[in-house]
Amino acid sequence: CIVDYQSKPLEIFPVNMKLKSIATGGDLTVGLSGDNKILVLNTSTGKTRVFDEEFIGANFAKQQLFTIVDKTGKSPVIYSHDLSGNRLDSFSCPLPIESFVYNQQSNHLLILTRKNNKTGYQYLLLIDDSLHRKTALALTANDSYGFSGNGARFFYVRDKSLTSFTISDKLPDMLNF
């Protein structure tokens, strides 16, 4: 749900305006209101877009915003938007989502699903900026994961073993043998 408040002064927005700034780039600022709405403010024009979805990340160089709907439900969906509010792509996650990490440098997303009752595993999904799944790896409940600082690699830690991958097109996919 996207609402365009264009040039209304901030004091008359119909949301709790105790804003927490969560990302800034150029003349754009993304904020999170007290009632969890995402606001994208163009500081030079005063125009604002409001997204009624959960924030994942923003890439100002590519003018792209990532959001999620129904994160813990049976059918979570991730969306990419341009900063004008148009939806670009979507990704329907096969399982409810436990957690996620966005890396602005690589413009990729790591998603950890909740445990699949049939396999007993959680899946770590690597999603690119077009919201295509590049890999799915099977993890257990105690495993940690993340991106390298520059976003060129991602990793997971199982027990005392670190496994890392360079983000490329030749990655294993446990959901698509």
Beta-carbon contacts of 141 under 8 Å, excluding residues fewer than 6 positions away, are 115, 122
Q: Which two tokens stand for residue 149?
A: 């600082």
Q: Could you say which DSSP state residue 115 is in?
A: P
User: Over its length of 177 residues, how does the chain's per-residue pLDDT go in tens digits?
Assistant: 333 333 333 433 444 445 565 667 777 778 777 666 788 877 788 787 888 888 888 888 888 889 998 877 888 999 999 877 789 999 999 899 999 999 989 999 999 999 888 888 899 999 999 999 999 998 887 889 999 988 999 999 988 899 999 997 688 777 776
Q: Rounded to the nearest 5 degrees, what angle is found at the Cα of 12, between the Cα atoms of 9 and 14?
A: 125
Q: Which two tokens stand for residue 47?
A: 């125009």
Secondary structure class of 10 (helix, strand, coil) = helix
Q: Considering only CA atoms, which of 140, 114, 133 is closest in space to residue 175?
A: 133
Contact at 8 Å (CB) between 35 and 16?
yes
Secondary structure in 3-state letters for 25-71: ECCEEEEECCCCCEEEEECCCCCEEEECCEEEEEECCCCEEEEEECC
SS3 of the chain: helix, strand, coil, percent, to 5: 0, 50, 45
Contact at 8 Å (CB) between 175 and 136?
yes
Q: What is the pLDDT of residue 36?
A: 67
